[in-house]
Amino acid sequence: MRDRSVWYQGLVKDLRPWPTEYRGIKPALLCQVELGLRLLERLEPGRAADGVWALLGGYPFASAAGLARTPEDQLAMTAARHLLWPMRRRRLWQQSLESYRQLPEQLRGYRVPAGGGPARRVAHPVAAHRFDVYDSALGRVPGFATNPLPYAREGTHRFNEHRRYSSVTIPSEFVFDPPPGHDLAAPRPRPGGLIEVPLAELEETARWMETRQLQLGRPSGQWCERLASLELDVRTADGKDFEKAEVLVLDGLRHLVGMVGAGKSTLMILLAVWAHQRNLRTTLVVGDVAEQLSQTQLLQGLGLRVALVQGATTRPKHTQRLHRRLAARGKRSLLDHTDPAFAHLSTACPLDALRALEVDAPLRFADAPCGSLYPVDRRADEPDQEENARSRAARVTRELRYARGVGPVGADGGPESGDVEEREDPGKRHACSLWSVCPRHSSSRDLVDALIWVANPASLVQTSVPRQLNAERLRYLELACLRSDIIVVDEADRVQMQLDQMFAPTATLVTTGPESWLDRLQTHEIAELSRQGRLQLSDQDVERWSAALDVVGSAADRLYAMLIDTPALRNWAQIDYFSPWTLQERLLSAWFPQHQPAVEDDDALDEAALYDDEEALHGPSEHTPVVEDTPWAARRDRLTKIFDVFRDDPLGDGGPYGTFADDLARLAHDVLHTLQEKRTRGRVRVLLDALLDGAPRPFERPPLFSEAPRNESEFTEEWLELQAERLEFTLVLAALNQRLERVTFLWPQVEAALRLDPGEHELTRRPPLDYAPLLPESPMGNVLGFQFLLDERDSRDGRRTGTLRFFRCAGVGRELLLSLPRLGADANRGTTGPNVLLMSGTSWAGTSTRAHVVAPVQAVLKPQPEALRSIGESLFRTEFMYDDAGQPIRISGQNPETREAVLRLLVEKLARPPRDRTRSPLQRELAQIPDPRRRRALLLVGSYREAALVAATLSEMSAWRERVRVLAADDAALEASLAAEASSVGAYTATAVRRGDLADFATDKSAQILVAPLLAVERGHNILTPFQSPGEERVAAFGTVFFLVRPHPRPDDLFLSVFAINDWAARFVRDHPGLAEGTFTGLVGDGADLDGAGSAFRTVARGVWRRLLSRSYMYSRLSDPEKESFAWDQLVTLWQVIGRLVRGGVPARVVFVDAAFAPRLAAAGARATDQRRPRWQNDPGLLVHLRDVLAPYFAEDPGPCADPADPSLVRLLYRPLYNALCGIDTSPPRDR
| Higher pLDDT pick, 948 / 327 | 948
Beta partners for residue 196, in sequence order: 249
Confidence check: pLDDT of 380 > 50: no
Least confident interval from 218-227, 786-795, 1006-1015: 786-795
Kindly indicate the confidence band of residue 630, based on its pLDDT and cuts at 50, 70 and 90. Answer: low
DSSP run (H or E) holding 642: helix 633-648
The contacts of residue 652 (CB under 8 Å, 6+ apart) are: 661, 662, 665, 666, 668, 669
Beta partners for residue 806, in sequence order: 507, 786
Confidence check: pLDDT of 923 > 90: yes
- Flag whether 332 is in a domain: no
Domain that holds residue 379: 155-175+347-435
**Pairing verdict, β 110-111 and 120-121:** antiparallel
Question: What's the whole-number mean pLDDT along residues 153-170?
Answer: 85
1059 shares a domain with 1047: no
Least confident interval from 179-188, 473-482, 695-704, 951-960: 695-704
- Flag whether 901 is in a domain: yes
Evaluate whether 508 touches 703 at the Cβ level (below 8 Å): no
What is the CA angle 78-82-85, rounded to 5?
110
1167 shares a domain with 1073: no
Nearest to 442 by CA among 321, 326, 348: 348
The overall average pLDDT reported for the chain is 84
- Flag whether 606 is in a domain: yes
pTM here is 0.87
787 shares a domain with 674: yes
Predicted pLDDT of residue 451:
96
The contacts of residue 431 (CB under 8 Å, 6+ apart) are: 149, 150, 151, 152, 178, 370, 371, 373, 467, 468
Kindly indicate the confidence band of residue 696, based on its pLDDT and cuts at 50, 70 and 90. Answer: confident
Confidence check: pLDDT of 404 > 60: no
111 shares a domain with 13: yes
Confidence check: pLDDT of 324 > 50: yes
127 shares a domain with 51: yes
Least confident interval from 262-276, 612-626, 643-657, 797-811: 612-626
Nearest to 733 by CA among 583, 608, 576: 583
- Flag whether 189 is in a domain: no
Rounded to whole angstroms, how far apart are CA atoms 168 and 995? 41
- Flag whether 147 is in a domain: no
| Phi, psi for 540 (deg, rounded to 5) | -60, -40
Predicted pLDDT of residue 69:
87
In percent, how much of the chain has pLDDT > 70?
87
DSSP string, 367-412: G--SS-BEE-PPPTTS--S---HHHHHHHHHHHHHHHHTSS--TTT
HSE value, Cβ hemisphere, 13 Å, CA-based, for 855: 27
870 shares a domain with 852: no
403 shares a domain with 486: no
Rounded to whole angstroms, how far apart are CA atoms 739 and 723? 24
Rounded to whole angstroms, how far apart are CA atoms 40 and 268? 44
457 shares a domain with 378: no
- Flag whether 1116 is in a domain: no
Question: What's the whole-number mean pLDDT along residues 219-225?
Answer: 87
DSSP string, 1098-1147: HHHHHHHHHHHHHS---GGGS-HHHHHHHHHHHHHHHHHHHHTTSTTT--
125 shares a domain with 38: yes
Question: What's the whole-number mean pLDDT along residues 1211-1223?
Answer: 92
Evaluate whether 1069 touches 60 at the Cβ level (below 8 Å): yes
Q: Strand locations in 864-901, DSSP E?
A: 875-878
761 C-beta neighbours (distance < 10 Å), count: 17
Question: What's the whole-number mean pLDDT along residues 644-665?
Answer: 88
505 C-beta neighbours (distance < 10 Å), count: 21
Question: What's the whole-number mean pLDDT along residues 690-715?
Answer: 62
**Pairing verdict, β 506-510 and 802-809:** antiparallel
DSSP run (H or E) holding 1078: none
Residue 710 φ/ψ region, left for φ over 0, alpha for ψ in the -120 to 50 degree band, beta for the rest:
alpha
Confidence check: pLDDT of 711 > 60: no
Nearest to 970 by CA among 319, 428, 445, 265: 319
Evaluate whether 982 touches 955 at the Cβ level (below 8 Å): yes
Beta partners for residue 454, in sequence order: 284, 308
Confidence check: pLDDT of 114 > 60: yes
How many structural domains does the chain have?
6
Confidence check: pLDDT of 705 > 80: no
Question: What's the whole-number mean pLDDT along residues 543-557?
Answer: 92
Question: What's the whole-number mean pLDDT along residues 1034-1038?
Answer: 88
Confidence check: pLDDT of 214 > 60: yes
776 shares a domain with 835: no
Beta partners for residue 785, in sequence order: 807
Kindly indicate the confidence band of residue 1020, based on its pLDDT and cuts at 50, 70 and 90. Answer: low
| Higher pLDDT pick, 632 / 826 | 826
Question: What's the whole-number mean pLDDT along residues 771-782?
Answer: 90
Confidence check: pLDDT of 748 > 80: no
Rounded to whole angstroms, how far apart are CA atoms 767 and 810? 7
652 shares a domain with 570: yes
Write down which residue in 376, 408, 435 finishes a domain: 435
- Flag whether 201 is in a domain: yes
Predicted pLDDT of residue 124:
81
Confidence check: pLDDT of 979 > 80: no
Confidence check: pLDDT of 1128 > 60: yes
- Flag whether 652 is in a domain: yes
Kindly indicate the confidence band of residue 604, based on its pLDDT and cuts at 50, 70 and 90. Answer: very low
The contacts of residue 1098 (CB under 8 Å, 6+ apart) are: 90, 600, 779, 780, 781
| Higher pLDDT pick, 34 / 341 | 34
Q: Which CATH number belongs to the domain containing residue 471 in this structure?
A: 3.40.50.300
733 shares a domain with 799: yes
Question: What's the whole-number mean pLDDT along residues 524-540?
Answer: 87
Kindly indicate the confidence band of residue 401, based on its pLDDT and cuts at 50, 70 and 90. Answer: very low
Kindly indicate the confidence band of residue 854, based on its pLDDT and cuts at 50, 70 and 90. Answer: very high
DSSP string, 128-194: TTHHHHHHHHHTSPPPBPB---PBP-SEEEEEEETTEEEEEEE-GGG--PPPP---TTPPPSS-SS-
Most confidently modeled range among 209-218, 396-405, 627-636: 209-218
Confidence check: pLDDT of 836 > 80: yes
Q: Strand locations in 980-1137, DSSP E?
A: 991-994, 1009-1013, 1040-1043
DSSP run (H or E) holding 231: strand 230-235
* pLDDT, tens only, 407-457: 433 333 333 333 444 444 567 889 999 999 999 999 999 999 999 999 999
Kindly indicate the confidence band of residue 930, based on its pLDDT and cuts at 50, 70 and 90. Answer: very high
